[in-house]
A and B are shown apart, each in its own frame.
Chain A
Amino acid sequence: MDILLSVLDSPITKWVVLIFLLVMPLASLLTWAERRQSAMMQDRLGPNRANIGPIKLMGILHFVADALKMIGKEDYVPPGAHRALFALAPILAIVPVFIAFIIIPFGPTIYPHSLFEVINAYELRNAIETEALSAHGAFQDAINLQIYEVEYGLLFYFAVLTLANYGATIAGWASYNKWALLGGLRASSQMMSYEVSMGLSLVAVFIAMGTLEPGAMVGWQGPNPMNWGWAIGLHAGWPVPIGVVAFVVFFTAAIAETKRPPFDMPEGESEIVGYFVEYSGLRWGIFFLAEFVEIVFIAAVITTVFFGGFHVPFLYEDGFRFAGWVLYLPHIVVVLLQVLAFGLKVVFFCWLQLAIRWTLPRFRPDQLMRLGWMRLLPIALINTMVAALIAIWW
């Protein structure tokens, strides 16, 4: 039993569960959703024919066909390319995203000894405050559904995801192709520009919540939707909707970070040649997949910071509590509901990103730079300053 619990509590188990049960299936499904959703938005049917025998699943199997196709393609390295860096670039694009997932709390803390009982919220809070969790029989061996809990949580995300930037740039450079190089430069200039406003937009939230640690941010938000990150500045009588502004700026910058339309100058799949023009087969497939994993990750960060993470509205540790009305639920039901809520929120924000991608046309490069440096950055800075002033004087 102890061994089982320690295995379950190990970061590797959680990472495998998170990546293989949530992230990879979602990213693969997104390749399907991208096509079917865009079709539905444009009054078409979209691909619905891929099948294994009679099993069609509304075309979901297309991603299997895609994968098989990419495996079967010629793995071509252009003459003159830097072979090592050419091979490294796709890995650099996808690995940072997988690593960054470790800071995301994808579910609540599980107390395996009271799975089928209603948790006593008062005792739990006392135990947490007195740091006597392990001494309390019911709360021993707690499993926190967050892989890496550090004080500098979201800074870790910014630091790691910056590395994905190198993936695009190196891919462009190592291809020994002028157009790929130009695409890589467009990618790096765009990602550099938007990383600034992306980071600064969250600083206001950091100030309001007083923490950088995603788990603590989720705890700060709690199950009441009016206390979630987006509502900072609305409920406390503050004069500025800091949360809404931060959300809009962060969301815009994050879409630019994923290098997808309307910010897809680095690739410009159909018109301008992008940084992975020389890539074929699975190497290209990894870039493709990295893009979708990034979408999932952005959705996870937005969920965590602005929309209460795994919290279901009004669902506390022991059950629903709403305006004096209480419904007690066993711990395992609460945990399952909360993990499900996290998944659904992530799915929703993935859907929203796809909807935006199929709504807007591509920006011009000068519009892109103007939006990034002259609109988002000042807004993020002012938002941060207002949050700081409020934190000092309010």
Chain B
Amino acid sequence: MAKQHAEPQTPPHSRAEVVSVSEANPKVRTIRVARPAREESSFLPATLKGLAITVKHFFKNVTTKADIETISYPEEKPPYPARHRGLHRLMKREDDTVRCVACMCCPTVCPADCITIIPAETDDDGVEKYPAVFEIDELRCVVCGLCVEACPCDAIRMDSGLHAPAVEERQDGIITKDEMLALGGRSIAVQGGISEEWRQDQPQNPRDEFPHDREGAPYGRPAKTWRNQS
């Protein structure tokens, strides 16, 4: 508001001199710009100054590679945030069987309908069911993480730190139970809960649990696709 009717000011460029100001719009001015000084217009000092900077960087990077920002991607990977959602993996029990009890929570909550579970009965009285088929179409997956939120028994996780790899055929984008199990580790959660003593053994600060939580995750290891790990 105030600026619109302000007195014409000299522009920040100190060499410019205001010759006249338009009455209709004070922002429109005629200014006289002083040409650059001679040492500037000869370009030579500026060139030498610029060369000094670039050549300094050149020699520093050639000798020590100190300033280089490039990450040589497949060999070096940038650290992902701790809660990065990557390729799904299926966690295991102590006896290396799948933790999943085929409760169908994750296919129900999945907004992309990418999870296929065919349940089957098991003799284990504690769990009753297990997934005979557990497949996720990684091409359909929107990486929302709702399946992980929904899982009541810490069976599915997305903390593998891997990307869904590029595939040539659509059916190759479907990740199977065996492949997800190969990525999986053992969860510290105990199925069906355990007795009271367990709670007393735990550290007071829940954040201390975090390292255990990620146990067995292939995150940070040399690059492998989930396909050739199975």
Beta-carbon contact of B44 and A40 below 8 Å: no
Bound: A43/B56 CA distance, A: 11
Interface residue A391 (Cβ < 8 Å from any Cβ of B):
no
Task: Tell me the B31-64 residues at the A interface (CB within 8 Å).
Answer: 41-44, 47, 50-51, 53-55, 57-58, 61-62
Q: How many residues of A contact B (CB 8 A)?
A: 16
Residue on A nearest B59 in the bound complex, by CB: A40
Contact of B54 among A41, A44, A248, A371 (CB under 8 A): A41
Enumerate chain B residues within 8 angstroms of A248, measured Cβ to Cβ: 44
Q: Is B68 an interface residue (CB 8 A)?
A: yes
Give chain A's interface secondary structure class: helix
* Interface pair A359/B47, CB less than 8 Å apart: yes
Q: A42 at interface (Cβ–Cβ under 8 A)?
A: yes
Residue on B nearest A37 in the bound complex, by CB: B58
Q: Does A272 belong to the interface (CB within 8 Å)?
A: no
Asked if A40 contacts B43 (CB within 8 A), the reply is no
Interface residues of B, dominant DSSP: helix
Residues of B near A41 (CB, < 8 A) are 54-55, 57-58, 61
**Could you say which of B41, B42, B55, B70 contacts A44, with CB atoms under 8 Å apart?**
B70
In the complex the two chains form, is A40's CB within 8 Å of B58's CB? Answer: yes
A-B interface pairs (CB < 8 A), number: 42
B75 vs chain A, min Cβ distance (A): 11
**With contacts A43-B57, A359-B51 known, is A371 near B68, CB below 8 A?**
no
* Candidate in B47, B50, B58 with the most chain A CB atoms within 10 angstroms: B58
Interface presence of B72 (CB below 8 A): yes
Quote the shortest CB–CB distance from A290 to chain B (angstroms): 25
CA distance A371 to B70 in the complex (A): 37
Give A36 Cβ to nearest chain B Cβ, in Å: 9
B67 CB–A CB distance under 8 Å: yes
B50 contacts A360, C-beta separation under 8 Å = yes
- Known: A40-B57, A41-B58, A45-B72. Contact between A359 and B67, CB under 8 A? no
Most buried by B among A39, A40, A371: A40
8 Å CB contact of B61 from A40, A356, A359? A40
Among residues of A, the one whose C-beta sits closest to the C-beta of B69 is A43
Q: B50: which A residues are within 8 A, CB to CB?
A: 359-360
- Whether, in the assembled complex, A284 has its beta carbon less than 8 Å from a beta carbon of chain B, the answer is no
Interface centre among A42, A359, A371 (most CB of B within 10 A): A359
* Nearest residue, chain B, Cβ from A375: B42
Q: Are B61 and A43 in contact (CB under 8 A)?
A: yes
Query: Known: A40-B57, A40-B62. Contact between A356 and B47, CB under 8 A?
Result: yes
Chain B interface (Cβ < 8 Å from any Cβ of A): 41-44, 47, 50-51, 53-55, 57-58, 61-62, 67-70, 72
CB contacts under 8 Å to B, within A37-66, are 37, 39-45
Which residues from B are CB-within-8-Å of A43? Answer: 57, 61, 67-69
Q: How far is the CB of B175 from chain A (nearest CB, A)?
A: 29
- Interface positions of A from 348 to 386, Cβ below 8 Å from B: 355-356, 358-360, 371, 375
**Contacts A248-B44, A360-B47: A355 and B69 contacting too (C-beta < 8 A)?**
no
Q: Collect the chain A residues with CB atoms within 8 Å of residue B67's CB.
A: 43
| Beyond known contacts A356-B47, A359-B51: 4 more, CB 8 A cutoff | A40-B57, A45-B68, A355-B51, A355-B55
Inter-chain contact A371/B43, CB cutoff 8 Å: yes
Q: CB distance A356 to B51 under 8 Å?
A: yes
Contact with B69, one of A37, A44, A360, A371 (Cβ below 8 angstroms) = A44
21 A-B residue contacts at CB 8 Å?
Answer: A39-B70, A40-B57, A40-B68, A41-B54, A41-B55, A41-B57, A41-B58, A42-B57, A43-B57, A43-B61, A43-B68, A43-B69, A44-B68, A44-B69, A355-B51, A355-B54, A355-B55, A356-B47, A360-B47, A360-B50, A371-B43
Q: How far is B44's CA from A371's CA once the two chains are assembled, in angstroms?
A: 11
B22 CB, nearest partner CB in chain A, Å: 27
Cα A358 to Cα B55 in complex, Å, equals 10
Q: Determine the residue in chain A with the shortest Cβ distance to B43.
A: A371
CB contacts (< 8 Å) of B43 on chain A: these are 371
Expressed in whole angstroms, the minimum distance between the Cβ of A352 and any Cβ of chain B is: 8
Complex interface: chain A residues within 8 A of B61 (CB)? 40-41, 43
Q: Which chain A positions have C-beta within 8 A of B62?
A: 40
Question: Complex: how many Å from CA A359 to CA B54?
Answer: 6
Report how far A40 CA is from B64 CA in the complex, Å.
Answer: 11
Q: How far, in angstroms, from A40 to B47 measured CA to CA in the complex?
A: 19
| A201: min CB distance to chain B, Å | 14
Contacts of A45 in B (CB 8 A): 68, 70, 72
Closest CB in chain A relative to B38 CB, distance in Å: 10
Residues from chain B with Cβ under 8 Å of A375 in the complex: 41-42
Chain B, residue nearest A43 (CB) = B67
